[in-house]
Structure 1
Amino acid sequence: MADIDLLPRNDFSRRIIHLDMDAFYASVEMRDRPELANKAVVIAQDPRKTGGHGVIATANYRARKYGVGSAMAAAQAVKLIPAEELVFVEPDFAKYHRVSGQVHGLMHELTDQIESVALDEAYMDVTRSKIPGKSALELASYLQEQIFRQLHLTSSFGVSYNKFLAKMGSEYAKPFGRTYLAPDRVQDFLDRQEIKRFPGIGKKTQERLKEAGVLTGRDIRNYGLSRLLKDYKKSGYYMALHAYGIDLSPVQASRQRKSLGKERTFEPVIYDPDRADAYLKDFSQTVAAELKGRNLLARVVVLKVRDRNFKTITRRQQIQPTSDPEVFYQLAKELLAREPEFLAEGIRLLGLSAGELEEKHYQEISLFADE
């Protein structure tokens, strides 16, 4: 019996759009500051002014050509990008939140079945849209054009019959890309994709697969479901599903999430407390922006740490309901300081999440004067 016969049947009836804003934070800053044109823009604190500290939130495409990207130490940008091109811009998450709201407003003109993944990314189920008689490709193209005309920002989209394929499509032709994956073209498209293009296959797994000669989607299928299950357990099952273009997960509109978080795996491990501190500050700002975008408050902060020997801990701290990044940052910093042995051994993974979420029904007032 073929592997495809052991997997759930595909559902070709849905019409899903995945919208991804192009280098969102950097694009907003370039729109608002014309002098940044023809510059390599890096959204981070300037490490030349902070003693080498800071983590990159994102970078524009000019900066990415030099190998600079999100979650890198900001000091790397100084080494990789010529000084006459490089410009650091401190992130303004309140502004990005406002612009994200405008983008989501345009999405709601098409459908209310919207699942926001981040400030700059969302899935839309337009199987039954608010604009009858238009195909999913026409709707996505219209949305992309409206974002450009009204907000002067570029975006990329993918259209297909499930979320996985729609996301593969939006990543395929960035920036300002548009990709439609019709059912009869999906298998050929997936067979040609490198494994690094498949969402959910991390770098460590990529290395293992490559050692086994698995380089493309076709190779994943040829590897076989039984071997994938044996070697990779649950993640192997999802690799098989995706290699055949199967994803039955629904677009979950207005879902109430139990937690929001961000984490980073380090290879090699890190020992520098200042670098760990910079990541915690970046994670705090990102999580806070996510909460504000969803109109949520958190009642608990959770720190996750793993050392080079794979010892892992989580530490929780109850708080008054808030979405204040400074509160998250200070608590995470204190929680990490209570576990000094992890920096001594070397941190392999660091993460911060906000939990016990609730909707905000009042205006939050910050206790910090500079806000």
Structure 2
Amino acid sequence: MESRFFKIKALDVLQSSKQHEYFSRTDITDLLNDLRTIMKMTSSRLNFDIPALMTEENYNDLTGLSKDQFSDLLGYMSTVRSSGVRSVRTCLGVFLTKLRVGLSNKILGTVFGLKTSQVQRIIHAARENLKETFVPHTPGFQHVSHRDFVTNHTTPVAKQLFTTDPRQAVIVLDGTYIFMEKSSDYHFQRMSYSMHEHRPLVKLMIIVGTDGYILSILGPYFADGHNNDASITKHAITNNLENITAWLQDDDICIVDRGFRDAFQYLEDQGYMVKMPVCMVKGKKQLTTNEANLTRLVTKCRWVVESTNARLKQFHFFEKVVPNTMISSIGDLVKITGGIPNKYKRPLVCNPENEEVAKKMSN
């Protein structure tokens, strides 16, 4: 049974115990009333209370998960209770559909047969619950040990190209951003306005392994000039966010792009090794052969963080302009979303890579 309905597998194994059954007038009336109730419940295709009503493709399109994965994530909804308005399954379904498809609360209310205020309460309840029960097991420096991360989320190519000790962790860092509405608060508008993108946004720092596994998501940060990739990195380490300095060890390797050049020396002073594409010296027209080769080695392992950002933006809520009313929730929403590929999706680099290629590149 699931939400008072039989699963398809259960229906296949059911066997009749009688050849005939007699119904009274009252039985037939009750049966028709039950059928009418079920038809009302299933009048919309977006009904998560009856798993058999929607296909695997429907689940994937609306939530980014399969039916089994949806049911597994449902197990984390421990503090949410069913009400007369919606079930726990509907609560999770509305929340994931919001993130995956990026519909407004008003439209979500229309397709789920709910009021806009009910949708708002559902999203708040699901977010608060998953923040407490799901996020601690997903992104965050303390959700995986340093040893396990090195063993399971460092590709052979990264080890061959950059490490000299099997205990070294290789992490890839990059910033991303989420657009937001213009605020009527002048001070907040100034701090959230990006001179680079010429629009208001908030920034996040994504830290992944070389296989694309999300180690941590830091932020959000304001978009003004005080919060570039280098300054966010310095802030995270100086303030020991998520106890990062206890997790990182001496000679761990940080792979970054040129936007981190102002943090290059700072990271090395902390005892970490930094791998960054070579910056062109003013007056030079091209890199030397050695500089170009070093840049290629960094690019060989750094692309996964760009693909991770793209994977997160497949949840179209983060691709669109986020309402100001949800700005305070962005950090939680991104971490919940980041935990989904960690737990339910294949790593971006999942096939054994040829170490011979890495050896040739390093020679």
What range is the shorter-chain TM-score in?
under 0.3
TM-score after normalising by structure 1: 0.23
Give 1 or 2: higher helix fraction: 2
The structure with higher relative contact order (CA 8 Å, sep 6+) is 2
Larger Rg: 2
TM-score after normalising by structure 2: 0.23
Give 1 or 2: higher strand fraction: 1
